[in-house]
Amino acid sequence: MKKTFALLAAALLSTTPAVAFDGWRLAASTTIESKTSTWDYIALEATTNKLYLGHRKEGLQVFDPATNKLVGVIGDTAAHSANGATFAPEFDLGISNNEDGTYTPFKLSTLAAQPSVKIAAGIDTSHYDTATKRFVFNVEPDKDGTELIVLDAATLKDVGHIKVATRKAEGAVADGMGHFYLAGQDRDTIYVLDTTALKVTAEFAVPTCGKPTGVAVDAPARRLFVSCRGSATVKPALLVLNADTGAQVFSAEIGGGSDSMIYHAATHRLFSANGVNANLSVLEQVNADTYKIVETLGTQAWVKVLAITPAGDKLYSITADGTSDASKKILTAVSPYYLNTVYPNTFRVLTFTK
């Protein structure tokens, strides 16, 4: 009888399919003492293994994922309302992108900050082009577009501006080969920029996208990845484009409210954090032209930005508890119930593993 059961068990095991999905899950949730500030971007600086949290009126906060503890706040970024950080590790340089139109330089090695510098009426974020060693700042737009400000990373001198027609410059990525891709959310367009010549070299229309927001690139395969929030007529989606021509290669529906996406080359995974629907889309790149959804993980409300470890084994995000107070302005373009009031001591750093 025992032998029969053993043979039956072996037969069942041999016919049971292997688990097809990655199995991402929430592994840790660390609450940080906080007031009522909203937040924006999160970024992992790999050389020091520190997470930078754009906690706005709480400042650019530095979090150690090894100990799950907050280790400091950069300079006077709380007074300037920090949206997040951008890095140039070869210069031991970090930049805090501040809502009031200042940026705050600091050393990655010591966290020592220099005085904040005013360059615009407001800053949403900035991006670093590794090929040209230049920062590109998404600043407050004017009536007919946005004058992107470009700084040399070695000197932090203003080397010029790039005018783009969008009034909602969002995610961007450089391919390291001289191309810099920027999402124009309000115009359903990806702008291709030359950050040396300081000009737009191409525009990729993405009418099936609906508010393109997050951007990532697979430079060797010449593929561009775009997460789309969706609109009244277009569902939220993740698109794959030919990075040279803008031709659409693939599209998959995702959750609403994406504010960040990641391509991890070693594992061939695409990740989109979808804050309105509180889920995380995980897709596999089978080859340059073939993609498939691996899983969609339920997360928490307003988990809309992501950072990933170099090994691709951990994802980080931030969120907080709150409500949409009808007596205050609500960003209805994002959602009819977009968070506008945050409860104290509910701000959290989330760690996902598989």
DSSP string, 42-88: EEEETTTTEEEEE-BTT-EEEEETTTTEEEEE-TTHHHH-EEEEEEE
In the block, tokens 């004017």 appear at 142
Q: β-pairing, 269-274 with 279-287?
A: antiparallel
Radius of gyration over alpha carbons of the chain, in Å?
Answer: 21
- The answer to whether residue 186 scores a pLDDT higher than 70 is yes
Confidence grade of residue 9 (pLDDT, cut at 50, 70, 90): very low
Token digits of residue 166:
């969008």
pLDDT at residue number 335: 83
What mean pLDDT is predicted for residues 164-191? Answer: 97
Give the residue among 283, 233, 232 at the shortest CA–CA distance from 254: 283
Question: What mean pLDDT value characterizes the chain?
Answer: 94
pTM above 0.75, yes or no: yes
Q: What angle do CA 328, 334, 340 make, to 5 degrees?
A: 30
The model's pLDDT over 189-215, given as tens digits with 9 standing for 90+, comes to 999 999 999 999 999 999 999 999 999
pLDDT at residue number 3: 53
Burial class (CB in 10 A: 0-12, 13-18, 19+), 281: buried
Which residues, 6+ apart, have CB-to-CB distance to 347 below 8 Å? Answer: 31, 32, 34, 37, 39, 55, 58, 318, 319, 320
- The answer to whether residue 336 scores a pLDDT higher than 90 is no
- The answer to whether residue 2 scores a pLDDT higher than 60 is no
- The answer to whether residue 44 scores a pLDDT higher than 70 is yes
- The answer to whether residue 274 scores a pLDDT higher than 70 is yes
- The answer to whether residue 321 scores a pLDDT higher than 60 is yes
pLDDT at residue number 12: 46
